[in-house]
Amino acid sequence: MQVNDGYAIIVEKVWKVYKIGKNEYPALRGLTLNVREGEMLSVMGPSGSGKSTFLHIAGTLDRPTSGRVILNGIDTSGLSDSELSEIRNKLIGFVFQSFNLISRLTALENVALPLAVRGVPLQERQAASLEALRLVGLENKAKKKPTELSGGEQQRVAIARGLVGKPKILLADEPTGNLDSKNSQVVVEILRNINESFGTTVVVVTHNPEVAEKCDRIIRLRDGVVESEVVLHA
């Protein structure tokens, strides 16, 4: 079924209930949240309010307990795990706070990983990865290992890896969480630049107000639902 109406992400009445033994922890409680194609959205809210859970579910890394997620017009609820991972590979790039870089690989090789998963040939993979590193201003560090890079540079490598496959949607979970104020600004400017240059839909989970105010809209979650919304750029 195709229903998108200009939305890249539609999260509709989503519940996510984690079960541990006999206990149930509802992380999302009927969350409804839509993200427009080409929008840059920031998601804020206290620790435990469901921000990462939302990002995982919007990115099909996890399935809702109930409710549905529609990505680029594709209702993901009926899809098999392999169909989901295909959509994820094609459509979505992820950037995590902890960078998740592989220490024995160079920056270039780390960036190339999503393309390797897709079976892109080596030369093409290297060219695309170098281009992604150029977008984050690190083409001259392509051969460095993560330990030879600063925290800010490692985060930029992680962003390059998130965007190397030219995703329509980039999901970032506290991408500046481990960075100082100056590097945080650099990172948010890179994300904004990607958003504006390629029309990539960007969702940034952040605790940093300076990052949030660079976005088009700020959503605050509390207890697994939207508490408030501020539109900064229509």
Classify 76 as helix, strand or coil.
helix
Residues 79 and 145: their CA atoms lie apart, in Å, by 38
Could you report how far apart the first and last alpha carbons of the chain are, in Å? Answer: 28
Q: Which of residues 18-47 bind ligand ATP (CB under 6 A)?
A: 18, 20, 25, 27, 45, 47
Interface ranges with Mg ion (CB under 5 A)? 51-52
- Contact call for residues 71 and 14 (beta carbons, < 8 A): no
**Taking CB within 5 to 8 Å according to partner kind, which of ligand ATP, Mg ion, none is near residue 106?**
none
The secondary structure of residue 5, as a DSSP letter, is T
180 binds, among ligand ATP, Mg ion, none (CB under 5 to 8 A by kind): none
Query: Which is nearer to ligand ATP, 95 or 111 (by Cβ)?
Result: 95
- How many other C-beta atoms are found inside a 10 Å radius of the C-beta of residue 233? 9
| DSSP-based three-state secondary structure for 188 | helix
Q: Is 80 in the site for ligand ATP (CB under 6 A)?
A: no
Residue 155 · residue 186 · CB < 8 Å: no
Binding to ligand ATP by residue 227, rule CB under 6 A? no
Least separation in angstroms between residue 32's CB and ligand ATP is 16
Q: Tell me whether residue 36 or residue 220 sits nearer to ligand ATP (CB atom).
A: 220
Q: Which is nearer to ligand ATP, 49 or 72 (CB)?
A: 49
Binding residues vs ligand ATP (CB under 6 A): 18, 20, 25, 27, 45, 47-53
